[in-house]
Amino acid sequence: MATYSLANERLRALEDIEREIGAILQNAGTVILELSKEKTNERLLDRQAAAFTASVQHVEAELSAQIRYLTQVATGQPHEGSSYSSRKDCQMALKRVDYARLKLSDVARTCEQIWRT
């Protein structure tokens, strides 16, 4: 259950990053709109530019953290919440069970054919 909450937390963090990127684009649009005017409001430009810069730095830091996490997961380094190894082991065990069932079914058919003759 902890793995699901960790995954949900990671997804929420990515959604927050996505919202922040939207805010970045909105700030950039406001700056461009203000720059297109004949008489610009320098205070507004400074505020929007500062907000833009801060948001970009925050998104960059968050994305770097997400990439570091994914790198750890992909390289198999130990970290809290990883269930990849366990899931892979489970999938392989299920494949072995399916294979064993198939072979037992073949043996059962062979036995039936022998008993019929």
Each residue's pLDDT tens digit, 72-110: 777 766 555 667 777 888 889 999 998 898 888 888 888
Q: How confident is the model at residue 115 (pLDDT cuts 50, 70, 90)?
A: confident
Per the listing, tokens 């790198």 go with 71
Q: Position 66: which residue type?
A: Q
Mean pLDDT, range 3-18, rounded to an integer: 84
CATH number of 1-78: 1.20.58
Mean pLDDT, range 7-21, rounded to an integer: 89
| pTM tops 0.95, yes or no | no
Report domain extents, the chain. 1-78, 79-116
**Nearest alpha-carbon partner for 25 in 59, 73, 1:** 59
Question: From residue 80, how far is each of 4, 65, 70 by CA, in Å?
Answer: 12, 15, 12
- Cα separation, 82 vs 107, in Å, equals 39
